[in-house]
Every structure is written in C-alpha cells, then in structure tokens.
Amino acid sequence: SRPILDMSYSRHFLDFQGSSIPSSMKKLVVTKLSQNFREAVTLQQDSPVPLPGDGDLLVRNRFVGINASDINYSAGRYDASVKPPFDIGFEGVGEVVALGLSASADYTVGQAVAYVKAGSFAEYTVVPARQAVRLPSVKPEFLTLMVSGATAYLSLKELGDLSEGKKVLVTAAAGGTGQFAVQLAKKAKCHVIGTCSSDEKGGFLKSIGCDRTINYKTENVESVLRKDYPEGVDVVYESVGGEMFDLALNALAIKGRLIVIGFIAGYQNPTGLQPIKAELLPAKLLKKSASVRGFFLNHYLSDYKMALQNLLKMYERGDLVCEVDFGDMSPEGKFTGLESVFRAVDYMYMGKNIGKIVVELPHSVNSKL
C-alpha cells in the first residue's frame, strides 16, 4: 500500500518528486449566470490543484454525473448571493490521492470514494472526509446512486406511502432518477406506469419491471391514463413539469399524491419555469383530497447515508439495475474528458439518455518515480 502523503501543511508537497499529483488541472467554472450552459460555463485549463486541509481528502475524479439541475446552478437559481466565478458539478467518484492528517485516521491513499459536493466538474476535488462515501471500487454505477438513486429512495419513502397494489406513475421514467423510482415502486409491489420518448426506452423500462410504458411521442398520455386507469393513479413521481404536470395532476386518484422532484421542461427558459394551470390547483386537490409535495434532496441529508447504504447493498446483491449512459450513441461518441460535459448536458436536454448520464475523466499517470 502507498504511504500517506500528508499535504495539510505545505504547498511544496505538491512538487514532491515521487508524487503523481500535478500542480495544475482542468476544471469547469461558471463565469456568467445563464440557463444556457455553454454560455455560462468555461473550461479552465490551468487551475491550481487544491490542497486538502486537516480533515479533507483530495479526490482524483474518474467519473462525474450530469444532472438536469446543473443548468439551474449555472443560472444562479439555487443561491442568489453566489456570484461568478464559482465551481460546478454536484457528484463524483474517484480515488483518494492525498489527505490531511485527521482524515488519515479513516482513509488511505488509493481508497475509492464517492461524494456529493459542488465542484465535481474538475480533475481533482477536495472533499471533507465526513462527506465521502467509501466504495469497494471505482465504478460509474455507484455514481448513479449518489443523487438520482437517493432522490428516488427518500422521496418515495418519506412522501410516497407506497403499499402493495398502489398505482404509481413515473414521468421521464427511463432517465437518471426515473429508473430508480420504477424499480423501488416495483419492490413495494406497486403497479408502475412509466412515460418515455422512444420504443427503445420503453424496452428498457419493461426490462426493469415497468408494467405499462407510455411513449408520449406515439401515444396520447392523457387518453391512455383515462382509458386504462379510470380510477386514477395513487402516486406520481414527477420531474418534467409544464403540460406533463397538468396531466399527472388530472390523473390523480382520490387521496392521490403527486411528488415534484423537478420540472426539467422549464429549466432552459429564462425564468426556469414552464406555465402550468395553477389557478385550478386548489379545486382539483380539494375535489380528490389529493396533495402535491415538493422534494429537494438537500432537506433530507439526515437520512442520506442510510438511504445510500441501502441502495449500495441492493446493487451489490444484484437487486438494483444502475443504468449508465456514457453517450456512446451520441453523434460525437462517448463522453470522455471535462470538455465533453457540454455535450452531455445538451444530450440530456435532447431527451436521448437511457439511465444516468456519466462523463469519464481518463487519468494519465505522470509519476516521476
């Protein structure tokens, strides 16, 4: 095993002759607030590699996850007080390459870890050791669980009240988080309906247990729901917004629950929103004793580690499919290197992905040993 290189005291450790850690790196930085990711974000070629403090890990990122809300972050919608330039990217998987003295009590160089923290779109990220999650190996499948899997797990557990025989509608069901909502609802013995945009996605959904797929490009979602589910659906896992939100709301059963985990249809608009028929909302909810609940992962961090541990166990037992989309079918091929994050975000908004979009950051060893 490699010795711990304690970098918490002095910058000169970065130049240590045996170290494979360079002094500079590439990273993506928001330089202008805009919902247009390509306008907002700049690839910086020679940022200094950050130093871990006493309780920190320096992680060399190998895989980073793309999220629909990356463009909400680049538009400054999460925290109006933060002004550019600031780092972007929410989650990463990689190896610990250096660490502070306190952090060395629990971690060693070479340990595989995952994390959720702003600033993952970089070759190296400093992560507080207490926020890191140990992994058995560096695999992109683990990345799918960090935000997408945990969102599905906690929102359905806390707000879904799932039980056998309930009808659950998942919108954008073949996406990064939809894939988990489908599988977790099936595990609760529910009847699952999934909307998607292609027959290929429909095939994937059937392979993970979806009972009824609706390709909204070839079928009328409203007609299908009215005809096949005249009593309505009990739970909706909704991430699309706009017209899909209105359809889902109208499809709710008596005492039905609609969980809003996003509204991707509006994120590229200047306001981040797409119109919904909100003026009818009070009457519709009252008429059915129904509810609409929002879910934002950051508000459930006290349960996060528990959720992640359960998801990791399910995956390792073979009870959970963690579909990863590297963009192999995209026009310019696989998403490799930080410069391909821009393409990956475009690909997500074209609705092409099946599963979680992941970008691989290849590592070239430059050890002087």
Whether 56 contacts 129, CB under 8 Å: yes
Beta strand extents in the chain (DSSP E only): 24-30, 41-48, 56-65, 86-87, 91-99, 112-116, 124-128, 133-134, 167-170, 191-196, 212-215, 233-238, 252-260, 291-294, 324-325, 356-360
Nearest CA to 141 out of 296, 337, 326, 346 is that of: 326
Closest CA to 75 of 42, 118, 31, 44: 31
Give the burial class of 154: count Cβ atoms within 10 A of its Cβ; 0-12 exposed, 13-18 middle, 19 or more buried.
buried
One DSSP character per residue, 334-353 reads S-BSGGGHHHHHHHHHTT--
Q: Write down the pLDDT at residue 285.
A: 98
Helix, strand and coil percent figures for the chain, each rounded to 5? 35, 25, 40
pLDDT at 345: 98
Strands 252-260 and 233-238: parallel
DSSP 148: I
Please name the residue ranges forming H helices in 251-367: 281-288, 304-317, 341-349
Per-residue tokens: 284 = 């519709």
Cα-Cα-Cα-Cα dihedral of 328, 331, 337, 340, to 10°? -130
Complete domains list, the chain, with CATH: 24-138+323-360 (3.90.180.10), 148-298 (3.40.50.720)
pLDDT in tens, 301-347: 999 999 999 999 999 999 999 999 999 999 999 999 999 999 999 99
Reduced 3-state DSSP string for 181-209 = HHHHHHHCCCEEEEEECCHHHHHHHHHCC
Residues pairing with 212 in the sheet? 193
SS3 call for 10: coil
Which of 46, 153, 126, 90 has its CA nearest to residue 345? 90
SS3 at position 140: helix
Give the chain's residues under pLDDT 70.
1-20, 364-369
Give the rounded percent of residues in the chain with a pLDDT score beyond 70. 93
Walk across the sheet containing 167-170 and list its strands.
212-215, 191-196, 167-170, 233-238, 252-260, 291-294
Instruction: Point out which residues pair with 254 in neighbouring strands.
Output: none
Rounded-to-integer distance, Cα 301 and Cα 197, Å: 32
pTM over 0.85? The answer is yes
Torsion over CA of 336, 342, 345 and 351, rounded to 10 degrees? -80
Maximum distance among all alpha carbons in the chain? 72
